[in-house]
Structure 1
Amino acid sequence: MNSYENELSSGSQKNFSNMIEYIVNGMYDWVRVIDLDDNLVYVNKAMSEALERDLVGKKCYTAIGRDTPCENCVSRSAVFNGIPQHKEELILDRTYSVMSSPIKDNEGNIIAVVEVLRDITEMKNLQKEIIKQNKKLQSELNIARKLQCSLLPKELPEDKIEFSYIYKPCETLGGDFLDIFKIDAEHIGVYIADVSGHGVAASMLTVFLRSSINKNLLSPAAALKNLYTEFNRDYSDQDFYITVFYAIIDLENNTLVYSNAGHNVSPIIFNPANNKFELLRIPGIPISNWVEAPVYIDRSLALEKSDRLFLYTDGIVELKNADHEQFGEDRLVSVLQKEDSSPHIILDQIIEAASKFAGIEMYTQVPDDITMALIKIK
């Protein structure tokens, strides 16, 4: 290489070096280079101006107002490990993210460390505020969950029926709901519902459902029609909808009258003692703003001693295993047909079978609300 080429090369290197310095001095983050004896050999403009003094030649720790090296010094750790190190550091009442990276010569020897310090004080304050608000929100959700659970059925006279249910939302608040109640001395009403979606909005509609369904009517179809009207009076502008299966048990005449508002899984009447088994399929429009005049119909059937009415939402049948197969209606039915036990035991058997099939812990990992109820006629 002749002298002219050397001059061009030298000039290019100088220009490149100047460009690098312009870039580093233009950074908002603090940048400094520390030698192996903790001395500052370079400090960018942002750091010098922020600390209002010439820092080159000072010890890295005295530059930030300390008399001794920092605990868990990331620069020394970067030299020792030979790879970049990171930590958060409180400097002059501000929080900084410190990234320290070793600088190596052509032979791979570490000769210094470059540190980049980013002020993350506002981000940390925002994180603290978010955590605070999340705790407040979680507390409010827990209160709302207790309220929702308090609306679930508690006690019923069990001289003529035996009743059990499982209610497991996939979130703090669920969109499923069920209720069983005494209408009069001869009639018991029971319904199961599924609100589209999950969370707060869906749970509020379960409260609406419980408070709005007319529990004095002895026609489930009439009660659903009335509920549809109430929904469109208060929630006609909402995109949510509710599916409801509603049945009334006549204890004196041993009959069941039922109607359906779009509930997409069919409740089941079964009796293992005499091989009785029937899916209660019946059409109906969900409680929604979809049509102006929905039509609901009542159907009835005779009940026998030890008959069982099983109601559920789609969460249990749509559980999937590792092969993406659904638990499905057939597997559910097979559990029901082989169990001749109390409602509580049968529901536990369903949970056990579904958990084993999906390979999950049912009470902690469900992807959808799980709600089931079982009534046995004594």
Structure 2
Amino acid sequence: MKTILLVEDTKVLLMIIKKKLTSRGYHVITALNGNEALLKLQAHPNIQMVLSDWIMPECDGIELCQQLKSPHYARYIFFVLLSARDDQDSIIEGINAGADDFIAKDTNIDELDARLQAGFRTLALNNELVKKNAELDSAYATIKQDLAAAGEFIKRLLPNDPHFARAELNYVSIPSAQIGGDMLGCMQLDENNVGIYLFDVAGHGVSSALMSFSVQQSISVSADSSSLVRQKTDKAPYYKITSPCQVIQQLNELYLSQEGSDLYFTMVYAILNTQTGMLSYAFAGHPPLVWMQNSKDKAVFVEQDSYVVGVFDFAEYTTRTIELAAGDKIWLYSDGITEAEKDSHQFSEARLKELIFDIREQPTSIQANTVINEVRSWQGKEQFDDDVSVLVFEWKGYPEGDEQCNTSSLKKTNTQYFK
């Protein structure tokens, strides 16, 4: 049964209207003024339809309407203003006060019933919307909680030990949302070689993060199984390290075969021989490395024209090699850094290279954070519009007591590449 709160200060008229409404099947609760109506609404939380007289003592219909339509009132009320005046100015005044409908007291019961039925239909739609919004809020809260858990899980995939034999690593990875498509890492391929990578999946959010996780798992390495970066063999030392270009080539073949996905990613994958300082690398459409040359006191780009991963079946990739000197540092980063904007201007690769040179005397252990803070300061805001990742590693030099030797021969003897 539909319940109406009828507010009328004239008792005789109150009883007449109540009788008419009851005859049409409504459950009618009455109040003699606005203050009493507020108490009745508090006592009956199910009431959402109020039919109120205009002129009443203590709290009239306009004042009551304004209180019930206040954003601070916890319940949605359909308010019908009942008045002996039906002139245009009165109607405008009532509607401006927040009334949903305006009915003259001499309106016949059929019209009054029709108006009330329309009001209840509006209430039903509103209540359904409130219910759906509550369900959406609950679903959003669950999704938010799940994303937060996923974000924490992805953080655990990032390197947790910045120190390797004769090498030191520092990085920062910040998703633009709770989870993102950037991933970086390093892995001990064998006693002398460390794999370092950074890739950037196109887009943001869940789909990019899932692909990022998939790629990271594809290139992870363990001692008892083969992976894209190290293959098991039957002869000692029972493995071969995959060259950087072949790692990316295999990733391209793998992700081209995944139907229904339009995602792709850029990547740089490198292998550092910590004994010799030889760095082998391959690009897949990724921004250039920055090589901070300690002995020459200059920063230079290391770049390579190449295709992104997961788009072109004809793409081929190339491994190249550079020789680091003691104290040299290599910087990997995603384009969220260089494409950070201020006044329609991007931070740019050139500005990043200058910044890396300017902070060259800082310890490696803090340099990635310094870069992030400088870019934030430059753009004038804390939040980045894109996922941001930056990784720097330093080669410390030859083992103490060893002399520099012919690294061109060591490149073949100390690193076994799987072609």
Please give the TM-score of this superposition, normalised by the length of structure 1.
0.75
The one-letter code sitting in structure 1 at the alignment partner of 2:181 is G
CA displacement at 1:98 relative to structure 2:
4.2
Are the aligned partners of 1:78 and 1:84 in contact in 2 as well (CA < 8 Å)? no
Give the aligned residue type for 2:40: R
2:157 equivalent to 1:151: yes
The separation in 1 between residues aligned to 2:327 and 2:88, in whole angstroms, is: 87
Going from structure 1 to structure 2, the CA distance change for 1:87 and 1:305 (only over 3 Å counts) comes to same
1:202-225 per-position Cα deviation (integer Å, ceiling 9, x unaligned) = 111111111112221341001111
Alignment-derived partner of residue 374 in structure 1: 392
The answer to whether the Cα contact below 8 Å between 1:246 and 1:259 also exists between their aligned partners in 2 is yes
- Take 2:92 and 2:364, find their aligned partners in 1: how far apart are those partners? 73
Contact 2:184–2:199 (Cα < 8 Å) also in 1: yes
Provide the rounded CA distance (Å) in 2 between the counterparts of 1:100 and 1:267. 70
The answer to whether 1:279 aligns with 2:312 is no
Using the TM superposition, give the Cα deviation of residue 189 of structure 1 relative to its aligned residue in structure 2, in angstroms: 0.7
Consecutive unaligned residues in structure 2, runs of 5 or more: 101-118, 220-227, 231-240, 397-419
| C-alpha deviation, 1:349, in angstroms | 2.1
- CA–CA distance in structure 2, aligned partners of residues 277 and 102 of structure 1: 81
- For residues 90 and 201 of structure 2, the distance between their equivalents in structure 1, rounded to whole angstroms, comes to 64
Q: State the secondary structure of the residue aligned to 1:243.
A: strand
CA separation in 2, counterparts of 1:68 and 1:152? 55
Q: How does 1:264-275 map to 2 (within 5 A)?
A: 265-272=287-294, 274-275=296-297
Identify the residue that residue 201 of structure 2 maps to in structure 1.
Answer: 195
* TM-aligned CA distance change 1:254 to 1:77, over 3 Å: farther
By how many angstroms is 1:343 displaced? 2.3
Say if 1:61 and 1:115 are closer, same or farther in 2 by CA, change over 3 A: farther
- Show the counterpart of 1:318: 339
* 2:248 alignment counterpart: 224
Equivalent residue number for residue 66 of structure 1: 40
Q: What's the offset of the Cα at 1:295? A: 0.7
Identical counterparts, % of pairs: 21
Distance 1:210 1:169 in 2: 16
Structure 1 match to 2:113: none
1:273–1:49 Cα change, 3 Å: farther
Find the aligned partners of 2:132 and 2:91 in 1 and give their Cα distance: 41
| Residues 215 and 68 (structure 1), Cα distance of their counterparts in 2 relative to 1, 3 Å cut | closer
Alpha-carbon separation, structure 2, partners of 1:261 and 1:170: 22
Matched, 1:346 2:329: no
1:201 Cα deviation from its structure 2 partner: 0.8
Q: Hey, what's the Cα distance between the residues in 2 that align with 1:255 and 1:121?
A: 69
Q: How far apart, CA to CA, are the structure 1 residues paired with 2:176 and 2:135? A: 27
Amino acid aligned to 2:270: A
| Distance in 2 between residues matched to 1:280 and 1:148, nearest whole Å | 29
Aligned partner of 2:274 among 251, 273, 290: 251
CA distance in 2, matches of 1:77, 1:191: 73
Kept after mapping to 2: 8 A contact 1:271/1:307: yes
Q: Structure 1 residue 252: deviation in Å? A: 2.1
2:285 aligned to which of 262, 272, 296: 262
Structure 2 counterpart of 1:166, from 154, 172, 190: 172
Is the alpha carbon distance of 1:253 and 1:123 closer, same or farther for their aligned partners in structure 2, counting shifts above 3 Å? same
Which stretches in structure 1 are left out of the alignment for 5+ residues?
Answer: 1-29
Residue 356 of structure 1 and its aligned partner are, at CA, apart by 1.4
Report the RMSD for the aligned CA atoms in angstroms: 4.1
Counterpart selection for 1:302 from 300, 312, 323: 323
Normalising by structure 2, we get a TM-score of 0.68
Corresponding residue number in structure 2 for 1:13: none
- What's 1:7 paired with? none
Range with greater deviation from structure 2 (312-321 or 98-107) = 98-107
5 Å-filtered alignment, 1:65-144, equals 66=40, 76=59, 79=62, 86-87=69-70, 96-98=76-78, 115-116=99-100, 118-119=122-123, 120-144=126-150
SS of corresponding position for 1:366: coil
Following superposition, the deviation at residue 153 of structure 1 comes to 1.2
8 Å contact kept, 1:162–1:377:
yes
SS in structure 2 of the partner of residue 170 of structure 1: coil
